[in-house]
Chain A
Amino acid sequence: MNETFSSFDENELSEEDLAVLRAFDALDDISTQSGATGALPAPTEMEATQQAPSEQVNPSSSSLADEDEEAEMLMIFLEEATEDITRLRDALSANTQDRQAEHNPQSAGDQQALERDKAQFRIFQRTGHKLRGTAGAVGYTALSTVAQHIELLAEQVNNGLLSAQQTRPAIAQAVAVLEFCLQHMVQDGKEPEDTSFIAELEEYYHSLGIDPDHPQQPPYQPSAAQVTTTPAVPGEREQEQLGPSTADNDPYTEHVSARYVAESQPPSTFQSTFMQVENQRFNTLLEHTEQLIDQQTPIEDAQRSLAKALQDLQTAQAQLHQLEQSLSQNVLQGEETREHEQLYNARTSSSLIARILASSEASSRLQQRHLSHRQSTTFPNNGETARQKDVEAWDELDIERYTERDLLLRSLREAIVEVARCSARAQLAQTALQMAQQAYIEQVTLIRKDVQRIRLIPFSTLLPQIRQVIESSALAQQQQLAFEVSGAQTEIDQEMLRQLTGPLIEMLQTCIADTSIQEKGERQQHSIRLAVSKNAGEITIEFGFSMSIHGGAVEIMHETMQQLHGTLHFPRTTDDKIRFQLRFPGTHDPAHCLIVCSGTQRLLVAINQVQHVGILEHEQALPCYTLQQLLGPSYASTAPVNTMAGTLQPLLYIAHPITHESIGIVVDEIETEVEMVIKPLKPYLQRPGIAGSAIDGHGNVLLALDLQALLRQHNLHVPATPPNNLAEPQETHQTQRKPRILLADDSAYLRLTIMHMLPQQLYEVAEVRDGREALEQLLEHTPDIFLLDIEMPNLNGYDLLTLMQEYPELQYVKTIMLTSRTSDKHKQRALALGAQGYLTKPCDRDVLLTTIEQLLKREEPTASSQSTQPQHQHSYR
């Protein structure tokens, strides 16, 4: 994907552009003499070698074509140099105006001046750096040296080693020298031969007590007056909030006026509405409430045990009842036999009266027992009643009538009645316990939520500081800048907000500090959009900029986002020039999850990841993965998934991380739906696709899955292919493709130079001009080699290196830094962030090509070789 330089319309050219063109015309006249007469600077090594590829590519190319190309590149350089020097001059002029404005009584104070100084010197540093690199690459040493002075001086100011006031005249003088050089080059086509002006310039620096190469020690400390912040004037603040300019239709939309209102403190309402809570105490309280809710499981277990005991009791009761019946029957039969015997014996006695009396008594007793027995057997459901009646009929005074067996039987019956009563009471108690337990759990959940909410504050408490940064930025001073906010009332844990505040403010300051970064033709009315939202416990803070911004956002935010276990995203945008999202979990918020099983392992899947749940056997054909495929063989179920006869396979539908199409994840079982607090794993336990872990009431660890990340990780090792697209010839074709090189540099001149160095017949080269475009290209057309500059708009080189670590699919890209930063500090940092080569500009062609070749020959699978690996079919149906 080679970008082409857009042709320009001469009618739209500025006076400066026309001056450059005139210079080009003048160069045309002397172009043929350049090599021989030295009218152009002596070619650097790079220039000498950059001709070589063109000869290789097209050996028959004429010297005329080379000269045209050389002149074209020179013109591009002059155009860029003119732009850079104009930026420096503009920044100087803007500051002079600001200084004059400070005498205005409406001025908001020294804090604003400090902010302006910072912004101004960032422009000096960046522009000086860029000009040094491009001028050095083309061999204009005087221009490069003076630009380097500006960069170093500005760096010293930014590091607090020099005061802005002291350094400004030096930079003004350096800019004047640059203009002189440029003028000379435009007129004569070369730098001034007499470079004594550099020595004079350095003398001037020394007269001011500064030295670009040797920073002053100890570090410069801003005076008390400069760091003192002026408290907000209440009247002014009220006016700003109530005035029509602070809000259009959207209450959270405001247009920043150039008038600055100092606001170094959050609004006073913050202090009156919120109280301060000692962090450690809060954490202890939270921990205790979490432990309280964890008691739910033991209580449920105890309740289950009680229910089981009750069931056993009822079973035992039934058995006793049965036993009593059979016992009664046996006793009755035994009594009948004995009474018959007694009757017979009486009949055989000599006393007739005695026999009659005995017979009558025995008959009466038998009748009574038979009646009693019939009642208990005829109405088994009323057995209790029968026994009750029997008990009631029991006559304690007539105890002599009863035999020992009668007494035992009666005791048994009484015991059964007592057991039945206990059982009923226990059942009632269990019901009451259930109700109390439910109420307890509801109450505990409520307390837990309340405790969590104690530390929540709306994001809007941070807005005044954000507004202040935007209002005091150089961009807002020079151009119209709208600031739109949505979701400012989203509540965030105040500890997290505290962690975020510093980096967020610094990031915003960095992003908008450098007005020189604005591209030509970018509209003069800009906007910054801030959207805060919370979804399923995850907080998203999104910044959108309608204009190009200074790189470095990732560098600033990376560590904080790691601490918050969050991620930084750069979604595609059509509304903004660049947009980035900070996403992080809101701590202590329980997530609504499914417990799924893969083999013997139970895992959590947050419900917000799942589009819907289906049954594999009932769904139409679609690409599917088993969870075991994604997690690895140790998660295999005991029986193969697709051979488990008679079992229905649950299917979780998720959106594919790249194509966003629905894709199925087959799990062995969906056990239940729960709310659990998911906490991040310790860094050494973190794995792609594992969002964290939760601990259930039984003390088991459950891993929480990030299915999309898991899928991405899986596809990295086993590239996904549509089932119908497994034709083998594709592999042969792909193995022969040229290695891809992506070149990211904000200097058109340097891009063109490097492009000329790279043989087009060997490599497929793409170029991008800033970090955002580079990231898009990296993800869409992953290169084998990435040539990366450090200083770039939107995302700088370090930003990109940091971000690349977050994308497993980019792990095989070989990055070579190609920068004008020569210090070992920068090199070490780039290598630590994953760069595999570090070349400084101007770069020798042979060195560049050798480095590329060496990296391509390394054994690790490259992006290209990856795509030639045997394809795996993921749809197994």
Chain B
Amino acid sequence: MSQYPVLPAALLTITQARYLEQLDNQQFWHYARELADTRLTEDEPSDQQERQEYLIIESENDVAGGRIILPMASLRQILPALPQQTRLPAAPPWLTGLIAWNRETIPVVDLPAYLAQRQPRSPQASTPRLLLIAQETEIIVGLTVTVIGSLPALSEDQIRPLDSATAEAMQHCADGILGMYAGAPILHLPVILTTMVQHL
């Protein structure tokens, strides 16, 4: 099976392995076919394959396999995470502060903490964090994440509906999830951003 990995081999985490272990025969072969299809798609020579369309980021939500997939379409810029941020009074715990971007004051949100609705975990020194500048019309938000990989474009049939466990675990933002891929939820950033600022 490792011959046709959807995700880079390095990204096959323990959680991913456990996910595979939990699959029954039917699910396993379905997943295997999915991987094989992906490989075939990858083999097609086209520019689109080369372009990475999704980022895989660490999640604080165990149910979601410890990973979240983020489309890059809504991202304006990717920067190293900025340690210096201005605090905003009466802010939710996942709003880490404010920064200036393109001469505008924008909020910075710890995305995994927002999705898990809890305090941000202290970052591990070994995993550098990135600041993704995401924009949806007038809403511009900095998202602090730990990126663990990237993915090329996914076809529609590769995106599975949200499973019940993930839907329950991410109930507060279920509308902002496009579907699942390889056990990881794919975020719909425009909806996530719109909902997010309503909770600021």
Contact = CB atoms under 8 A, between A and B. Distances in A.
Interface of A: 287, 290-291, 601, 631-632, 634-635, 679, 681-682, 684-685, 687, 689-690, 693, 695, 699-703
A702 B106 CA distance: 12
Given A693-B98, A700-B100, A685 B86 contact: no
B89 A687 contact: yes
Contacts of B103: 287, 290-291, 695
Contact of A635 (B87, B100, B105, B107): B87
Given A693-B98, A693-B105, A701-B98, A684 B197 contact: yes
- Interface on chain A toward B: helix, strand, loop, or mixed SS? mixed
14 contacts: A601-B86, A601-B87, A682-B138, A684-B107, A684-B200, A685-B105, A690-B89, A695-B100, A695-B105, A700-B100, A701-B86, A701-B99, A701-B100, A703-B88
A681 B198 CA distance: 15
A631 B87 CA distance: 10
Contact of A632 (B89, B98, B139): B89
Given A632-B89, A701-B86, A684 B100 contact: no
A291 B103 CA distance: 9
A143 B88 CA distance: 58
B40 interface: no
Interface in B134-179: 138-139
Contacts of A287: 103
Contacts, number: 55
A688 B81 CA distance: 28
B89 A700 contact: no
Contacts of B46: none
A815 to B, nearest CB: 24
Contact of B86 (A682, A689, A702): A702
A702 B99 CA distance: 9
Contacts of A634: 87, 89
Given A679-B105, A695-B105, A701-B105, A685 B88 contact: yes
Nearest to B101: A699
Contacts of A681: 105
Contacts of B26: none
Contacts of A635: 87, 89
Task: In the A-B complex, list the 7 residue pairs whose CB atoms are closest, starting with the nearest.
Answer: A684-B197, A701-B86, A695-B100, A693-B105, A684-B200, A701-B98, A699-B100
A858 to B, nearest CB: 23
A690 B90 CA distance: 11
Contacts of A702: 86
A699 B105 CA distance: 10
Q: Which of B84, B87, B99, B197 has most A Cβ within 10 Å?
A: B87
A601 B85 CA distance: 9
Contacts of A690: 88-89
Contacts of B105: 679, 681-682, 685, 693, 695, 701
B66 to A, nearest CB: 29
B121 to A, nearest CB: 18
Contacts of A701: 85-86, 98-100, 105
Contact of B200 (A679, A685, A695, A703): A685
A409 B90 CA distance: 70
A703 B105 CA distance: 10
B79 to A, nearest CB: 12
Interface string B167-200: 0000000000000000000000000000001101
A687 B98 CA distance: 13
Q: Which of B85, B98, B99 has most A Cβ within 10 Å?
A: B98
B59 to A, nearest CB: 24
Interface residues of B, number: 19
Nearest to A692: B105
A563 to B, nearest CB: 13
Contacts of A700: 84, 86, 100
Contacts of B99: 701
Nearest to A601: B87
A684 B87 contact: no
A632 B93 CA distance: 13
A637 B86 CA distance: 15
Contacts of B84: 700
B89 A685 contact: no
Nearest to A602: B86
B89 A631 contact: yes
A84 B90 CA distance: 51
A274 to B, nearest CB: 29
Contact of A703 (B86, B107, B198): B86
A799 B44 CA distance: 65
Given A682-B139, A690-B88, 16 more contacts: A287-B103, A601-B86, A632-B89, A681-B105, A684-B107, A684-B198, A684-B200, A693-B86, A693-B98, A695-B103, A695-B105, A700-B100, A701-B98, A701-B100, A702-B86, A703-B88
B24 to A, nearest CB: 45
Contacts of A687: 88-90
A57 B91 CA distance: 50
A701 to B, nearest CB: 4
B5 to A, nearest CB: 40
B107 A685 contact: yes
Contacts of B106: 682
Q: Which of B86, B105, B198 has most A Cβ within 10 Å?
A: B105
A632 B87 CA distance: 11
A685 B87 contact: no
A79 to B, nearest CB: 52
Contacts of A693: 86, 98, 105
B98 A689 contact: no
Contacts of B200: 684-685
A689 B88 CA distance: 11
Contacts of B98: 685, 693, 701, 703
A695 B90 CA distance: 21
A679 B88 CA distance: 15
Q: Which of A679, A684, A699, A701 has most B Cβ within 10 Å?
A: A701
Nearest to A630: B89
Interface string B98-137: 1110010111000000000000000000000000000000
A693 B85 CA distance: 13
Q: Which of A290, A291, A702 has most B Cβ within 10 Å?
A: A702
A632 B90 contact: yes
A691 to B, nearest CB: 12
Nearest to B197: A684
Contacts of A631: 89
Contacts of B86: 601, 693, 700-703
A291 B86 CA distance: 21
A291 B100 CA distance: 14
A700 B86 CA distance: 8
B100 A689 contact: no
A695 B98 CA distance: 11
Contacts of A290: 103
Nearest to A603: B86
Q: Which of A287, A690, A703 has most B Cβ within 10 Å?
A: A703
A503 to B, nearest CB: 22
A340 B90 CA distance: 87
A695 B101 CA distance: 10
A631 B103 CA distance: 25
A693 B99 CA distance: 10
Q: Which of A682, A690, A693, A702 has most B Cβ within 10 Å?
A: A682
B98 to A, nearest CB: 5
B133 to A, nearest CB: 14
A631 B86 CA distance: 13
Nearest to B98: A701
A290 B100 CA distance: 15
Contacts of A682: 105-106, 138-139, 197
Nearest to A696: B100
Nearest to B85: A701
A701 B88 CA distance: 10
A631 B88 CA distance: 9
B113 to A, nearest CB: 16
B95 to A, nearest CB: 9
